[in-house]
Amino acid sequence: MAKKKQAEKVYIEKEPILRGVVETLETNYMPYAMSVILSRAIPEIDGLKPAHRKLLYTMYKMNLLNGDLVKSANIVGSTMRLNPHGDAAIYETMVRLSRGNEALPLPFVESKGNFGKVYSRDMAYAAARYTEAKLAPICKEIFGDIDKETVHFVPNYDNSTTEPTLLPVSFPTILTTPNQGIAVGMASNICSFNLGEVCDTVIALMENPDHPIEQTMPGPDFSTGGQLLVHQSQIKEVYETGRGSIRVRAKYTVEPKGNMITVTEIPYTTTVEAIIDKVIELYKAGKLRELGDIKDMSDKTGMRIAIETKRGSDPEKLMTKLFKMTPLEDSFGCNFNVLIGGTPMVLGVRQLIDEWVAFRSECIRNRSHYIKSRAQERLHLLKGLKKILLDIDKAIEIVRGTERDEEVVPNLMIGFGIDEEQAEYVANIKLRHLNKEYILKQLEEIEALEKEIAEMDSILNSRTKVKKLIAADLKRVKKQYGFDRKTELVYDDQTVEIDEEDHIEDYPVTYFLSKEGYFKKIQPNSLRMNSAQKYKDGDSLRRAVESTNKAELIFFTSMQNAYKTKGYEFEDTKASLLGDYLPAKLEMEQGETVVAMAVTADYSGDMLFFFENGKAAKVPLVSYKTVTNRKRLINAYSDKAPLAATVQITEDKDLVLISSNQKALVVNSALIPAKSTKSTQGVTAMTQKGKHKLDKVQTVEELGLTNLSYYRTKNIPAVGHLLRQQDLPDNQVTLFEE
């Protein structure tokens, strides 16, 4: 009963805390999350985030579409009226949109001064007071007809002015402008496509909804160029789902002498410094022996990385290796997350184009309705003026005969049968214009207005005409602003996939594993100079194997795991050093230690596991071969009994099993059947009685038995025979001792 009351008390104490957490999430965190999603990180159908839109609209209102360049600091200051997030954030936005930064294939801002480079991490842009900017000519297509109520306007943050919710872009900027944003619980990453290809694709889809997009838009086009590795399945996935990954690699040239490579274009997702840092890291690790030098030669003329190869090295093979191991080949993860009507949606290219066409159609309808309304208003006034034309003298007489000013309009309405708006228009005509010639010229506009109204009505009532107007705009944009692809297309049949290992140097080495898990890889010439191995106090050699640099290494641990790696993953070292500590190097679990090592080139042979209960398991090494590049295999051997020893063999041989009661048994490994299951317990090889256990396993040569037949058995299990005095081990060291 007391326990129940105590539990109720704890629950009652926690309930207000839980309620407070929920209330805080609802009132504080959720509004913040929605603000980040809707007002900051995710682009809308016009291809712009709010920060981009506020900046560009401010520049438009500053008359920077037709005017001269102005200081960037002035633009930033003016934008603060719409975007109160600080001058640094606004200026960084402008830098990204500028021609000088080269982040966009179709820049929105013309720039003068240092705006940094998208392909450089260290090339910082100058302060806003030193640079100048204006809108690029392409912005005519972004702000066209914005003053004709094509888009909605809303008050800014302090209600001092208004700003557009979207811009009436006349081409799909959502596909021609790269965009990246991280919101709360979601993100967006949109790659850029070529302007001309996008325009052709939209036109084709409006004519035929089943048009295959890949025919007119074969792949993304990045401002930094490079080569797009076109895999049709990957491109199709991105086009259909809006998600996926595409690979881009650098473009390079090899000088005629053959020892200098010049990289002139790199993937959009990386920087010059990131590439050079990775190359230097690999060189220090001994994985780029062909490399002579690497330098950043970028200047005002453009980006360049100079890679010098060593004499006799093949530049093409080195570049293939660099593509595999460095950001010179990188992937762009697509996530076409866009706000549609205030709702985040991940859309494929076809869906994005459909949404943009719907948005652009609405802009054209809004524009048509605006033009029609203004034409109707003008026509209405001119029709009133037409009635005055029939008797101008009467109009003058009415005005002259009216005593009070406020009675002029009512008297004209009565005298000519016109409404108040028409009468107000007539009353405001200047005296010099009260002549027949002026009024007749004004009336000539009536017919044009009627045609214009009829045309607007036909547009408002016809989807086909709206699509024709969209297509006409796209054709004009392509003709005026289109440009050749910057990113070269390289198809599957034009690329040759070469394994990284093909370019790794192979040479003789000796692998050393200590009992405490320290590992060394030493070349023969280094061993000849100094063969005395250094170990920590209390540590000693577990196994030494002569092999090659490309050998496969399998390390078995105390937790029945097998960690696979390659010899070349370790640096060459010297006997005078401790070497690599494997539990840390291979990221093993806490308390996990190395108990055995297998070295193989082709997974031939077997691994023998001997347990303290006398059982032995033979597992073919090929059982540890995997198709995928897995580094860790679980259940690598049985955990039913403690491990006593391991032996790697390439062919059957005689082994000596020694128990804790000094009995020995010579067994040929052929007597132990091979099992494909790695965690097999195997068969009993040496029978153990009482508290005795299998203690060690050695080769016949290592132990040096004088009479093999005395200890040999033709069948297993067997008990073995006591070691004779002359066969007792005299502080012998075994390569397989555990």
Written as one letter, the residue type at 419 is D
Q: What is the pLDDT of residue 113?
A: 96
Spatial CA neighbour of 619 closest among 683, 675, 685: 675
Stronger pLDDT, 20 or 380, i.e. the higher one: 380
- What mean pLDDT do residues 455-462 have? 95
Q: CA-to-CA distance for 413 and 632, rounded, in angstroms?
A: 95
Q: Evaluate the omega torsion of the peptide bond into residue 256 and state whether it is cis, within 30 degrees of 0.
A: no
* pLDDT tier at 713, thresholds 50, 70, 90: confident
Weakest mean pLDDT among 441-450, 505-514, 610-619: 441-450
The yes-or-no verdict on residue 455 having pLDDT over 80 is yes
Name the residue with higher pLDDT: 332 or 628: 332
List pLDDT tens digits, range 641-650.
Answer: 999 999 999 9
Q: What is the mean pLDDT of residues 263-269?
A: 96
55 three-class SS: helix
CB 332 within 8 A of CB 220: yes
pLDDT at 735 over 60: no
311 compared with 346, residue with greater pLDDT: 346
Residues 134 and 68: beta-carbon distance below 8 Å: yes
Torsion angles phi and psi, residue 492, rounded to 5? -50, -45
Token couple for 558 = 């105390």
How many CA within 13 A on the CB side of residue 397? Answer: 7
Please report how the helices 87-97 and 50-61 are oriented relative to each other, as an axis angle in degrees rounded to 10: 80
Q: What is the pLDDT of residues 321-360, one digit of tens each?
A: 899 899 999 999 999 999 999 899 999 999 999 999 999 9
Lowest mean pLDDT among 110-124, 197-211, 663-677, 692-706: 692-706
Residue 495 has φ and ψ, to the nearest 5°, of -110, 150
Structural domains of the chain in order of their starting residue, each with its CATH number: 48-168 (3.90.199.10), 251-327 (3.30.1360.40), 354-481 (1.10.268.10), 507-727 (2.120.10.90)
Tokens 């009336």 correspond to: 443
More confident residue, 102 or 8: 102
Does residue 15 have a pLDDT over 70?
A: no
Cβ atoms of 270 and 327 closer than 8 Å: yes
pLDDT in tens, 30-43: 787 777 787 788 99
pTM for this prediction: 0.73
Residues recognised as catalytic: 130
- pLDDT surpasses 80 at 566: yes
147-161, 195-209, 424-438: range with lowest mean pLDDT? 424-438
At residue 732, the pLDDT reads: 42
Task: Assess whether pLDDT exceeds 60 at residue 3.
Answer: no
| Greatest mean pLDDT among 478-482, 711-715, 730-734 | 478-482
Render pLDDT for 464-516 as a digit per residue (tens, 0 to 9): 999 999 999 999 999 999 999 999 999 865 555 555 566 677 899 999 999 99
Q: How far is CA 331 from the centre of its chain?
A: 6
What integer best gives the mean pLDDT of the chain? Answer: 89
What number is the average pLDDT over the span 667-680? Answer: 91
Residue 25 pLDDT more than 80?
A: no
